[in-house]
Homo-oligomer: A and B are copies of this chain.
Amino acid sequence: MSTVRSSTTPFICGLDAALRVVSGKWKPLILFFLAKDPKRYGELKRCVRGVSDKMLIQQLKELEVDGIVVRTDYKEIPPRVVYELSPFGFTLADALIPLCEWGTEHTDIIEKALVRRVTA
């Protein structure tokens, strides 16, 4: 979410902590699509429309370091690398469901609000 607070400052609350993990332009979408099933790099890139290699890799690496995503390299040629959620990752995905539903439920209101933001 937009960028959030510096990684060195202490957390103010649990929400703050959680948001440091899911914040990042493409992370929620990565979570969303990987929650459905494991995907190869190329597949995932096609799901997350508009993302560049640089961004996708960067965010995947952070999620991997955070223990959310598991990367499996099959060492084949041509390369085959599969990304999936860890059990810990699934707990995060679960925690995001209400927010996901909230967004789905209020999509039109949100859309209008964002337009207002620009004109305002």
Contacts and interface: CB of A to CB of B under 8 A. Distances in A.
A1 interface: yes
Given A103-B16, A103-B19, A25 B5 contact: yes
A105 interface: yes
A120 B64 CA distance: 11
Given A50-B9, A103-B11, A1 B16 contact: no
B2 A99 contact: no
A104 B19 CA distance: 11
Contact of A65 (B3, B66, B91, B116): B116
A109 interface: yes
A56 interface: no
Interface in A95-120: 95-107, 109-111, 113-114, 116-118, 120
